[in-house]
Amino acid sequence: MGYNKVIQYGNKTEIYEYQREPRVVDRRRRPSPKRETNASNVDLGADGGNSVSKGKLGKRHDHSRRAKMDFRRLVEANLVGSELPVLITLTCKDIITDLSYGYKRLRAFNQALRYSYGKSFKYIAVPEFQKRGAVHFHSLFWGLPEEVVSQERTTRTIAMKWGMGFVYYKKTDGHIKIANYLAKYMAKAFTDPRLRNQKSYVASRNVLRPFISRGTSSLWSLLDELNGEEVLTDEQYYSRYLGNCRHRVFKGSKE
């Protein structure tokens, strides 16, 4: 293979091998002028209404799939270790539909936690619109004081710091299913038109990030290190631009 990409996070290592190097896109080029909308270039659905072209739908789905994979890796990178996250859902009692304002209240909530418990905790939060239209957040928190979490049902300390409505919390076992659970909401948010020009998730600066390396160097030394590790995925496929490709996922013993 002519080009390699390695992604390491938590106790996993992903290796992508490509026959050809990815094309470098010149983003300085000015975009072509948009066509005027007229009867000849509007794609009409079965009901006669405007619909998105199959090409655009395919791209949107592909971008959502990649974003979901990247997000899941981010969460998994922080699930390794003895510190287990707490799942906290922050709900607004009023019908707040402005996500910008929702993010503002989330920042104020985190600032209140820092003021009380220091800056050592970390979090990842994903927004979602409820059926009634109100914004709420699905989040994972690491490093909150154990006594605060264990006594929340009685003291409602975290709920008072949120101050916007109901707070649901649950201690977790740090299982990988948590990453899949949060990634489901992240993918939903990624494609929600109400999140246009908004972030589909937020994370504190101190969360662990996947380490990505790219290049054409040999993988023999890395594969020697991974020898004997559990292989979760080993698939080969063809790409129009990259040629023959191979994707492998190794699971190590790191806890």
Condensed to tens digits (0 to 9), the pLDDT of residues 216-249 reads: 666 778 888 888 899 999 999 999 989 999 999 9
Tell me how far CA of residue 182 lies from CA of 61, 126, 175, 224, in angstroms.
Answer: 18, 7, 12, 34
Choose which CATH entry (3.30.70, 1.10.3430, 3.40.630, 1.10.3470) describes domain 86-203.
Answer: 3.30.70
The answer to whether residue 253 scores a pLDDT higher than 80 is no
| Residue 176 per-residue DSSP state | T
DSSP strand pairing (243-251 vs 230-239)? antiparallel
Q: Given the structure tokens 């490509």, which residue do they identify?
A: 18
The rounded distance, in Å, linking the Cα atoms of 218 and 214 is: 11
Mean pLDDT for all residues in the chain: 83
In the predicted model, what is the mean pLDDT of residues 45-74? Answer: 64
Long-range pairs, 29-34, Cβ under 8 A, ≥24: none
23: region left, alpha or beta (phi > 0 left; psi from -120 to 50 alpha): beta
The rounded distance, in Å, linking the Cα atoms of 107 and 103 is: 6
Per-residue model confidence as pLDDT tens digits over 70-95 = 999 999 999 988 889 999 999 988 88
In the predicted model, what is the mean pLDDT of residues 201-220? Answer: 87
In the predicted model, what is the mean pLDDT of residues 45-60? Answer: 44
Tell me how far CA of residue 32 lies from CA of 3, 24, 58, 169, in angstroms.
Answer: 31, 19, 21, 49
The rounded distance, in Å, linking the Cα atoms of 215 and 3 is: 6
Least confident of 33-37, 39-43, 94-98: 39-43
So where are the chain's domains? Answer: 86-203
The rounded distance, in Å, linking the Cα atoms of 251 and 126 is: 26
Q: What is the pTM of this model?
A: 0.81
- The pLDDT > 70 percentage for the chain reads 82
Q: Say if CB 61 and CB 187 are below 8 A apart.
A: no
Question: Which residue from 78, 156, 163 is spatially nearest to 123, judged by alpha carbons?
Answer: 78
In the predicted model, what is the mean pLDDT of residues 27-35? Answer: 56
Which one has a higher pLDDT value, 40 or 216?
A: 216
In the predicted model, what is the mean pLDDT of residues 26-42? Answer: 49
**Neighbouring-strand partners of residue 14:** 7, 249
Question: Which residue from 181, 250, 245 is spatially nearest to 8, judged by alpha carbons?
Answer: 250
